[in-house]
Amino acid sequence: MNGDSETRKWILKQGEFRRLYSSLLQKHQGALQTTTDSENDPFVTESGILTNIFRTEAKYIALGAGAVVASLVSLRFIRSKHAISTVFGRTKAEAMRDAEAEGKRMGTDAFQKTFANVVEGLFSFWVGYRCYDYLSHKSSPDGANNNNHTHQTTDSVDAIAALPLCRGRSKISEALCPGWIDVTKQQIPGAYWKALEEGRLRDERIWNAILKFSSNCERRLASEGALRRELSLSDDQPIALPTRVDAGDAPSSQS
């Protein structure tokens, strides 16, 4: 019982834990914004992945916006007198006109129209968001499955979590991984990640990606360390991985 009470205490700190990662991203935001397309640049693989993620997200945002417009136009047409008469018949159209006239007489016409517009707008934005969310979840960003990084990704969030596995060098990994691992393994208790496994957290998709990014950081650091030892390089010597890191079994991130 005490253990469950302790877990609930950590679950209530989701916002505080999320801010730990947000501060890391803000601190290293420069590394997240630089890209390159030079064939000889050791960061080119990572840059290509990021570019394709941004393009994919932009495309689906545009499609979601299109769904908002299409939904709004459709709802406005359905409310039109011509549509009501065509679909529901003249009797229904006359009843609607009588209701509008009664609304004007009672002085509620403006409120009714405003309420209808608000409902239509909210519904249309919901349709647009669901369209974007569905496409984003089902997407596999171009470049996420080529010869250099064959791990199958299902959406942009997973693709970002897999960035530390890319071949060559990774600006994002070099900037974020040490701090990210420290937050995941030292500053957030194991009971919190246990709650994630049990499905007790909000935004499970995001927290799973956060945990996966940390695990992939550990894999990358281990691969870089092994390669440095093989080449007799110092621990702080930058190194480009010749192949993508094997995902393997996820290392434990619970303390």
| pLDDT interval class at 62 (50, 70, 90) | confident
Distant-in-sequence, close-in-space partners of 201: CB < 8 Å, separation ≥ 6: 11, 14, 192, 195, 207
Handedness of CA 12, 17, 23, 25 (dihedral sign): negative
Task: Enter the pTM of the model.
Answer: 0.69
For 1-60, the DSSP string reads -HHHHHHHHHHTTHHHHHHHHHHHHHHTHHHHH-----TT-TTHHHHHHHHHHHHHHHHH
pLDDT in tens, 119-133: 777 777 777 777 767
Task: Read off the amino acid at residue 162.
Answer: A
Mean pLDDT over 157-167 rounds to 91
Give the integer Cα–Cα distance in Å for 46 and 178: 18
Residue with tokens 């002085």: 107
Q: How far is CA 97 from CA 79, 101, 109, 111, 126, in A?
A: 11, 6, 12, 16, 29
pLDDT in tens, 132-152: 677 666 655 544 444 443 333
Say yes or no to pLDDT of 157 above 50: yes
Task: Read off the amino acid at residue 167.
Answer: R
Q: 158-196 burial string, b = 16+ CB within 10 Å, else e? A: bbbbbbbbbbbbbbbbbbbbebbbebbbeebbebbbebb
Strand runs labelled E in 115-254: none
pLDDT in tens, 173-211: 999 999 999 999 999 999 999 999 999 998 898 999 999
